[in-house]
Structure 1
């Protein structure tokens, strides 16, 4: 679990499992489009790489899917559903 702050306020929370899955990448709406999410994903990827993972998996919302594509993630299967909301499996090989 990682936390990013700006001016003493939490603006981002990210999490990953030991098996290589990013499970959380929440950005405070006021912090969007400032590079915080990119920095969080890069930090999580580095931690996973240091733990020996070479494949990172995540499930994206439709809104965030374009962001993850820009970070090098590829679609990894059909949508899965959280109730009525679809999630989009994605993955990336890291080195």
Structure 2
């Protein structure tokens, strides 16, 4: 496993772009548009580079579904370790 992607100083641009895409998806205010943006993250060029298997990323969708209908907040914006609260 290549651990270079875990730091913004050593990560490839595609990893950094995907991380930013996740943060931007959280910031979409309209619920329907946010859901579409989340689903489209699977199509991002950095998805498979950042998550070799989808099961590493799917828990975010479970949390989003559990909090459906509530507000979404980006609690921490630490590269590669964002904390997102759904259903507030």
TM over 0.5: no
The answer to which structure has the higher helix fraction is 2
